[in-house]
A and B are shown apart, each in its own frame.
Chain A
Amino acid sequence: MATPRPRVKAPSKASKGEVVTIKTLISHKMESGQRKDKEGNIIPRKIINGFACTLNGNPVFSCDILPAISANPYIEFHAKVEESGEFEFTWTEDGGATYSTKSAITVS
Chain B
Amino acid sequence: MHTIMKKVTGGLGILALGAGAMLAAGAAQADERKGLTTPDGHPLSKVISGYEFRIPETQALQDDDFQNPGMLWVDTGAELWDTAAGEANKSCADCHGDAADSMNEAGAHYPKWNEKAGKAVNLEQQINTCRTENQKAEAWKWESEPLLSMTSFVRHQSRGTPVAVQTDGPMTPVFEKGKELYYTRNGQLDMACANCHEDNNGNRIRSDMLSQGQSNGFPTYRLKWQKVGSLHRRFKGCMKQVRATPYKVGSDEFVALELYLAWRGVGLPVETPAVRN
Contact = CB atoms under 8 A, between A and B. Distances in A.
In the complex they form, do A and B come into direct contact, defined as C-beta atoms under 8 angstroms apart? yes
B93 interface: no
Nearest to A24: B66
A25 B76 contact: no
B10 to A, nearest CB: 33
B226 A9 contact: no
Contacts of B226: 29, 70-72
Contacts of B73: 1
Contacts of B72: 1, 5, 7, 25, 27, 72
Nearest to B66: A9
B67 interface: yes
B69 interface: yes
Contacts, number: 32
A1 B225 CA distance: 14
Interface string B29-69: 00000000000000000000000000000000000001101
B98 interface: no
A1 B226 CA distance: 12
Nearest to A9: B66
B58 to A, nearest CB: 13
Nearest to A27: B72
A23 B71 CA distance: 14
Interface extent on B, as a size class?
10 to 19
Interface residues of A, number: 13
Interface in B124-174: 145
A74 B66 CA distance: 10
A66 to B, nearest CB: 16
Contacts of A25: 66-67, 69, 72
Interface of A: 1-2, 5, 7, 9, 23, 25, 27, 29, 70-72, 74
Given A1-B227, A23-B66, A71-B227, 12 more contacts: A1-B72, A5-B72, A5-B76, A7-B71, A7-B75, A25-B66, A25-B67, A25-B72, A27-B69, A71-B226, A72-B69, A72-B226
Interface of B: 66-67, 69, 71-73, 75-76, 145, 226-227
Q: Which 7 A-B pairs have the closest CB atoms?
A: A71-B226, A72-B69, A27-B72, A9-B66, A23-B66, A74-B67, A1-B145
28 contacts: A1-B73, A2-B145, A5-B72, A5-B75, A5-B76, A7-B66, A7-B71, A7-B72, A7-B75, A9-B66, A23-B66, A23-B67, A25-B66, A25-B67, A25-B69, A25-B72, A27-B69, A27-B72, A29-B226, A70-B226, A71-B69, A71-B226, A71-B227, A72-B69, A72-B72, A72-B226, A74-B67, A74-B69
